[in-house]
Chain A
Amino acid sequence: MKTFQKNIKLYCGLAAIALMASCKPEITREFQPAQNANVDFSKYIAVGNSLTAGFADGGLYLEGQNVAFPNLVAEKMKTHGGGTFNTPFFSEAQSNGSGYYRLKALVNGQPQLEWVSDKSALNNGVLTKFEGTEINNLGIPGMRLDHSGVGLVSAGNMYFARLLPSSEVGTKSYQDFVDNRNHTFFSFWLGNNDVLGYATNGAVNDNPAGTTVLTNEQTFRAVYTQFIGKLTANGQKGVVGTIPDVTTIPFFTTVTRKALLDAASAASGQTITNLFIATKTNPSRPATDNDLFALPFSSSGLLGNTTGSPAPYGLHPDRPIEDKYVLDTEEAAAIKTHIGKLNAIIKEIANSKNLAVADANAMLTKLKTGINYNGVGVSSAFITGNAFSLDGIHLTPMGNAIMANLVIDAINSKYGTKLEKVDATDFRGVKLP
């Protein structure tokens, strides 16, 4: 027994070592880069519009740029031989970039927005030129596929002009801007604005700059083929995104007919049962629950307004809500059909070039009913859905992380890679006051 007592310290010491060594369990299931995946991520470029640039809350600003989905994807490529991924970030001093919407208050549960304009990069409608190294995130807010080959467009787009030397503004097209970058991999998500510009204007094409045109199938196919042809000229691989059904986004689903009627009734003190809208085929008809109202209409101050006319705006058959504020039943159905056709073209061209397809349209359809992501309800509901920022069109940081995972899944399943998923719970939804 003496020896036991003498050795008790030794036994305790051994036990302590064993304890520390085995205390923390090691999970044996691994998710390691596949050795045989034949993809070169060393120089990834992201081609696209506002969604690629990280636009959010009605503006482009540093926080949004940081969490743009291509940036999150590029981070995960690093374990697969991915190189540096440069973004034309705004400086800290001008971190609010173009400015953006902030939620100031909830008054009786109704959101009150305000525009953040300090730390701005804007000066007389011109953004401070970006000066830095060669960039990989080439997303230009507002870029349309049908405009991608037109040099003049850069003169009318301050985000594009910001990235070009003065001599090239108004002459260099987006396709030329993207070309000759010796990329090894690309993401390509253009085409949204070819539908969105038309849809958010109530399916009215009235902008002389061509930003409200609905791009037809023929043009879409031709330009898509041309652009993808350039990006795959040396056999590069990549991922393309489909066009989401714009009628499912909060921009069109938040302001409902019922909400407007309730608000008009409350404001006037009497029960109002009909809204009147102008459509392409009917100068004035009562609105139905299938007519979609644009998000900004609720704060436009127009509904019920009697300025310049005795008839209250939108509440009297003689003074219907203008076509540009409403995506009526027929227009919404036509746009949905058109998006289906354009997505078929995207998938066809992607398949012919052996590219991965991130089906953003399918994802948004799921968000319409809502998904549960690790205990977070994510849906296309305005503010509470966590996915869409305050403009009702672009994504929150959490929405970007979910989009990044969609892209990662598409790449992994197409090319057999094992890019790790992004932990979307690390990212916020809408900031509340």
Chain B
Amino acid sequence: MRKLLFALLLASPTLTFAQGSQVNTQGIRALGMSGAGSALFVDETSIFYNPGALSKMENNAISIGASAVMYRSAFKELDSDVQHNTKFQVTPPFSVFATFGPKNSWWKAGIGVYTPFGGAVDWGTEWPGRYELNHLSMRAIYIQPTLSFKLTENFGIGGGFVYNLGSVDLSRSIPVFDQHGNAGRAELSGVGKGMGFNVGVHYNLEEDFAISLSYRSKVNTKLEDGDAVFTVPAALGTSFPNTKFSAELPLPSSFNLGITFPMGEKLDLAADATLIGYSIYKELVFDYENNTPVLTDTRQPKKYENAFSGKVGLNYEATDKLDLRMGAGYVYTPVRGQYVYAETPDNNRIMGSVGFTYNLSEKFDLSGAYTFQRIMERTVKNVETQLQGTYKTNIHAPGISLTYKW
């Protein structure tokens, strides 16, 4: 008579994806102006910023760029004075852009490979939000073949097809304890695929004033056959079987308006405004292949709102070989307070940048940029985990790119 029904009602791990952490480092020239310059720069990076401008390139070029994004967040739980920091980590977004086609023609083709979304946070296993997240790193790589046409001498139009390869790797603690009192752990990793497009028009008056309109579609990234690995006490082995999972992550669209005009003989101003369609990110669903009474599919509310960013920058032609740049920007967050998760402790952010391009020779350009972003301090209470406290984040991102023209 030792029978006693005993249902394990452990909370299923609801797992999270980073959505935000968008640090645009695709074009190092634009990076030096905090991301402004979609109307100003007519070069191979237009494949990303505005395919409509591509056909206005006189020559062909290939460029390779890389940056080192250092994303550091801090957290202080409410009613506590202990600050927890994410571990120092560098994520290296890269970009390759190449153009093809006859010189001074009415068309131009190109291909871009770049990482518009990505980030890595590692809070570790010793912080108050460990049951929400230990670590996460995710990256989306967009591959975009592009065609661009000049309708008139001043008016260019272009578009590209986007194929996305996304990868994600995350872990969090589970509140089940072994004989040493250590908590269990869930680790998930996988690769997803998605498709979208990128279109734009570019118009300029004489050599001076230019306007750019571009639209990047949302890319619904589907992750299938991801691996879910659980570290739990032996008695719970059958409750938490290692299994496969699938999930769907919509990456947002963005609609961008850019203008540029001269401020002086050697000084140009560029400004960009972007509406980011984050409101498609309503929830994150994890579908486990093997469900058990404790390992059920999860549905985590995100309820993002559309976001907006404004950027302005100056380009100064210091010598005939050297351009110097600076810029600043402001981004309104898509994340509402109660939906802030440790994966992306987002808030409105300010940013400032400096950069340069130096002509090494007729054929080679070297560009460098440095951007600093501050995600403002924000005190929130998460609707799901009830984790309550203050987040703050600094992002440093130096970048460099080399362009070969012919």
| Chain A interface (Cβ < 8 Å from any Cβ of B) | 1, 4, 15, 19, 22-32, 103, 105-106, 109-112, 254-255, 258-259, 262-264, 266-267, 298-305, 371-377, 381-384, 386, 397, 412, 418, 420-421, 423, 425-426, 428-433
Contacts and interface: CB of A to CB of B under 8 A. Distances in A.
B11 A1 contact: no
B175 A25 contact: no
Contacts of B128: 374, 423, 425
Nearest to B359: A1
Contacts of A106: 6, 235-236
B83 A384 contact: no
Contacts of A431: 177-179, 181, 233
Interface stretch (B26-34, B67-75, B162-170, B278-286): B67-75
Interface of B: 1-11, 70, 72-83, 85, 88, 126, 128-132, 172-173, 175-179, 181-183, 232-236, 319, 321-322, 358, 370, 372, 374, 377, 379, 384-387, 390-394, 396, 398
B5 A29 contact: no
B390 A110 contact: no
Contact of A25 (B73, B79, B129): B73
A386 B174 CA distance: 12
A27 B3 contact: no
Contact of A430 (B172, B177, B370, B390): B177
Contact of A24 (B5, B82, B394): B394
A373 B382 CA distance: 11
A373 B128 CA distance: 10
Contact of A110 (B2, B9, B172): B2
Contacts of A426: 126
Contact of A267 (B3, B5, B7, B179): B3
A254 B4 contact: yes
Given A25-B72, A429-B177, A259 B5 contact: yes
The 3 closest A-B pairs by CB, nearest first: A263-B3, A375-B131, A375-B385
Contacts of A32: 81
Contact of A109 (B6, B176, B374, B398): B6
A372 B385 contact: yes
Nearest to A432: B233
B1 A304 contact: yes
Contact of B70 (A23, A103, A384): A23
A264 to B, nearest CB: 8
Contacts of B393: 25
Given A110-B3, A423-B128, A430-B177, A1 B319 contact: yes
Contacts of B83: 26-27
Contacts of B379: 29
Nearest to A302: B1
A428 B1 contact: no
Contacts of A263: 1, 3-5
Contact of B394 (A23, A300, A373): A23
A429 B80 CA distance: 22
A255 B235 CA distance: 21
A29 B76 contact: yes
B392 A420 contact: no
Contact of B8 (A109, A397, A418): A109
Given A301-B1, A303-B1, A421-B80, A23 B132 contact: no
Given A26-B83, A106-B6, 4 more contacts: A27-B83, A375-B175, A420-B81, A433-B235
A375 B132 contact: yes
A375 B387 contact: yes
Contact of B79 (A302, A373, A421): A421
A112 B2 CA distance: 9
B81 A255 contact: no
A381 B232 CA distance: 20
Contact of B1 (A19, A103, A305): A305
A372 B178 CA distance: 21
Contacts of B232: 432
Contacts of A383: 6
A433 B8 CA distance: 14
Contact of A262 (B5, B384, B392): B5
A136 to B, nearest CB: 24
